[in-house]
Amino acid sequence: MASNKKAVFFLCGDLGIDPVAGHVFNKLKIIYDLKRTDIIIDDKPVLKYTDKSKNEFYFAETHKVICHDYTYYLPIMNQYFSDSDMSGLITWHEGQNAPDKILSVHTTGDVDSGNFGNANPQYMHNLLWGLEKHKIDANMDDFMVTTEATHWSGMVYGEGNPKLIPMFPVPIIDIEIGSTAKSWDNSAAAEVIARSLTEIFNEDNKTLMNLLCVGAVHFEPSFANAVFETWDDKAFGISHIVPNHWLVTGQYENEDGLIKLENCIDSIIGGISGIAFHDKLKGTYKSQLRILGEKYNIPVFKHQLLRRPEDIPFKYAGKTV
């Protein structure tokens, strides 16, 4: 386990606005000995838990979901938490044709414009494995832990200025329960998240082969399943996932698209060991990825190989510059 690390999690406590975060916050207050801090946000004290390794976990209750009013919350986040190692937003997931009974995690970014928040594959790996462990312990066989395509809800609910995304230097992920009212109210799901948050620095000593995942749908099973694939004390480090529909709307076939993809890669802490693309990706996008593969001297491969990691010609963990 890492020590002396710092994480902050933001939770909108109003169930009328966010039907999930308040339930998770209540579980946190039951499970942990939370201490009041001198930090006040939205007239509420930020609470803190310190584990045996002196890792600090801050829980900030807000009036709104932070990405819904980022112009207001961003300066506050930077004032108090810019020195954090990791951060997260606890919230709900919904959407047309969205899968139900999910515990989902995704990185932050606006693929269309090419603005990506920093991503930490190691801490995302730790959290996803923690969620899976606690889900199993809770006998929640009907729920699924999954990744989701990189996006930022501020484009839908907030002021829609994606240039704000990189202005918070700390890697931030959305941690969600979806996608129906029954799932949002699921007490066991809220507890699974609450117990997993404080394990975000718990490493399993596996060597992560970080990937950029490109193509396919918003909830792509091949990328989600890759999180739990292990071989020879190695595992995939999954963070930014760029889905097919935003490649199209963002015109990633153009030269500017190559720059956007490089921005994405450069935001992944530790670099990448390879690029995995869905086999149905159009050739014009595959060509862009192969250009990047040559530049970074890393393999570019079809998603089917994620089930056969021993066959991927990795050269190293992380990228060289």
Does 105 lie in the same domain as 31? yes
**Average pLDDT score over residue span 105-119:** 98
- The whole-angstrom separation of Cα 23 and Cα 199 is 19
The last residue of one of the domains, among 151, 183, 204, is: 204
- Note whether 194 and 214 are same-domain residues: no
Q: Give the model confidence (pLDDT) of 120-156 as tens digits.
A: 999 999 999 999 999 999 999 999 999 999 999 999 8
Identify the domain boundary among 152, 173, 204: 204
Q: Could you tell me the residue range of the domain that residue 68 belongs to?
A: 1-204
Apex 24 CA angle, 18 and 27, nearest 5: 145
**pLDDT confidence bin for 247, thresholds 50/70/90:** very high
Q: Are residues 171 and 226 in the same domain?
A: no
The pLDDT value given to residue 313: 96
Q: Say how many domains are in the chain.
A: 2
Q: Which helix (H) or strand (E) holds 242?
A: strand 234-242
- The verdict on 50 and 163 lying in the same domain is yes
Structure tokens at 267: 């935001």
Q: Are 236 and 183 in a shared domain? A: no
My answer on whether 92 and 50 are in the same domain is yes
Last residue of a domain, one of 204, 220, 255: 204
Tell how strand 234-242 and strand 274-277 pair up: unpaired
- Over residues 272-280, the mean pLDDT reads 98
Q: Which two tokens stand for residue 208?
A: 């992560």
Question: Is 199 in contact with 274 (CB distance < 8 Å)?
Answer: no
Q: What is the CATH number of the domain that holds 236?
A: 3.40.50.10700
